[in-house]
Amino acid sequence: MHGMINRGLQCYICDIHGADVWEETCERAKLPFYNFESLLTYDDTATEDILSSFSSLIGRSRDEILENFGTYVVSEEALSTVRRLLKFGGDTYVEFLWSLNFVYARAKMAVPDLDVPAMTLTSHTPTQFTLTTRTPKRSYGATLLGLLRALADDYNTLVSITHKRRVLKHVDEDIFDITIHHENLRKCGTLKLVGH
Amino acid sequence: MGSPVPIPVELSRGEAFDNTTLNLLLPMHVQLDAHGKITHVGPTFAKLFDAHTSLEGQYLFQYIQISFPTDMTTYQNLASHYNEALVAQIITHKEFDLKAVAVPMPNNAGVLINFAFGTSLKEAVDHWHLKGKDFSPSDPTVEMLYVFEVQSALLQESQNLNDRLNGERQEAEEKAYTDPLTGLCNRRALDRHIKRLQRRRVPKSFAVFLIDLDHFKSVNDTLGHAAGDRVLQEVADILLNETRPTDIVVRSGGIRAIA
């Protein structure tokens, strides 16, 4: 896994649970170091070991941890670049969802070896969408679930998202069914006040 | 942003594209009449000015200055620089350089100037809060922003990593050339120093003193090694005080030498 992702995971654990928990996680995972470097690429087992030792340490499932991590990536000020780039996709959550079709290629152009899933969005009605992602890295879909939920929050949009995972021969396929209940909650409030 | 995009203002029958099409293809374009007054602005260009500014009917050169080519101070000079790369600034925001190209409209209907952010792209996007849809769908600006943002974040990481590695390298180097007990140089540092003295461009003589501490063994034997260490540290301090800054004092397996 790319060092940027491992480093992100390290920042998340340190920020939310403290440096002690991070160090203990590293020790339990039998890592020979305490710091991931963003510019290096690590063996996938390092990330797996971190996730499983952290999971047993705090008593949360892998999916819960990854979903929280996805939320953290979007909401954390230190990582505002990620939010800024994603929000450059549009003024509304729907516009953002459509821009996800291009994220894989753009991220690959910026950092060729970054582990980003390929994403395809389809719409059924103006408020119902299906996002399908594929990646050879197994069991990371919950991260995207956290990210999608946190961005809906950022856009003041009320959504419900269901997540299904399909294990295919060479890749994991994650399917997110997204229903938009209320777009731009804050603006709606204002409109009601002025009598619309 | 690369070379100016060729502008398809004229169809085969000599009819211009309508403004809706031009707004989509060139959201930062401006159309001028034969006198240099603005007749239409693209939606992104309009965002660069206060919301209440009505640009239409005004002279473009009230708002924009062209800094290159340098003779472009009046609208009349524009015709001699059609199809060339221009550098322009918004008069209220001279910190941003805009790239531009001007082309004549069909049937002497005026001029179309298309603008782009050039090297000011990132700052301009931040300043005017621009989004992906403020650029033409086929424009590579969004992709460029991804590269900018990620590369600058990585560069910062790379500098941090270099700083850390450099600190560790210095520390390791220091350890490699010093005696941990006394802080004096070690045998390896002596070899390096003597090689350096021998390599001097103008050969000069130098001296090496070998000093032996008499009865040192009995200190260790009667008072213990901690006392022996203390003696060595004291001797080291004395030798350092009595030598010049350009000399080095070495502890090498019980032997002290001053070069």
The predicted structure's pLDDT at residue B258? 58
* Residue A195 pLDDT class (50, 70, 90 cuts): very low
Instruction: Determine the pLDDT at residue B111.
Output: 94
Query: Which whole number is the average pLDDT over A96-107?
Result: 92
Give the distance from residue A164's alpha carbon to the nearest chain B alpha carbon, in angstroms: 29
The residue length of chain A stands at 196
Mean pLDDT, range A39-65, rounded to an integer: 95
Helix axis angle for A80-87 and A62-75, nearest 10°, is: 80
pLDDT at residue B210, rounded to an integer: 86
pLDDT at B255: 52
Q: Please tell me the distance in Å from A151's CA to the nearest CA on chain B.
A: 16
DSSP assignment string, chain A: -BHHHHHHHHHHHHHHH-HHHHHHHHHHTT-S-S---TTSB--HHHHHHHHHHHHHHHT--HHHHHHHHHHHHHH-GGGHHHHHHHHTT-SSHHHHHHHHHHHHHHHHHHSTT----EEEEEEEETTEEEEEEEESSTT-HHHHHHHHHHHHHHTT-EEEEEEEEEE-SSSEEEEEEEEEEES-HHHHHHHHHTT-
- According to the model, what pLDDT value does residue A18 have? 94
What digits encode the pLDDT tens for the residues B70-117? 888 788 888 899 999 999 999 999 999 999 999 999 888 899 999 999
Instruction: Determine, for residues B133 and A90 on separate chains, whether the beta-carbon distance falls below 8 Å.
Output: yes
Interface test with B, best of A2, A34, A35, A88 (most B CBs within 10 A): A88
How many angstroms separate the CA atoms of B166 and B254, rounded?
A: 32
The confidence score (pLDDT) of residue A161 equals: 97
Identify the segments of chain B with pLDDT beneath 50: 1-2, 11-12
In chain B, residues 163-192 whose CB comes closer than 8 Å to chain A? none
B145 at A interface, C-beta within 8 A: yes
Q: Rounded to the nearest 5 degrees, what angle is found at the Cα of B185, between the Cα atoms of B181 and B191?
A: 140
**Three-state SS for B87?**
strand
The verdict on a CB contact (< 8 Å) between A106 and B157 is: no
For residue B16, what is the DSSP state? B
Model pLDDT, residue A2: 92
Band (A125; pLDDT cuts 50, 70, 90)? very high
Stretch among A80-94, A100-114, A182-196, B197-211 having the lowest mean pLDDT: A182-196
pLDDT of amino acid B259: 54
| Nearest-CA distance A51 → chain B (Å) | 23
Averaged pLDDT score across all residues of chain A: 91
Report the 3 state secondary structure along A95-111: HHHHHHHHHHHHHHHHC
CA distance B56 to chain A (A): 27
Beta bridge partners of B10: B16
What is the mean predicted confidence (pLDDT) over A148-155?
95
Contact call for A84 and B151, based on CB within 8 A: no
Question: Can you give the pLDDT at residue A39?
Answer: 86
Q: How many CA atoms lie within 13 A of B29 on its CB side?
A: 31
Please list, in sequence order, all residues whose beta carbon lies within 8 angstroms of the beta carbon of residue B123, skipping any fewer than 6 positions away. B95, B96
Tokens of A18: 């403290």
Residues in Cβ contact with B112 at an 8 Å cutoff, skipping those fewer than 6 apart: B7, B9, B22, B26, B29, B30, B31, B32, B102, B103, B104, B105
Residue B27 in 3-state DSSP? Answer: coil
Q: Are strands B29-32 and B38-41 parallel, antiparallel or unpaired?
A: antiparallel
Q: How confident is the model at residue A74 (pLDDT cuts 50, 70, 90)?
A: very high
Q: Do B146 and A89 touch (CB under 8 A)?
A: no
Residue A77 confidence (pLDDT): 84
B134 contact residues in A (CB cutoff 8 A) = none
pLDDT (0 to 100) of residue A22 = 96
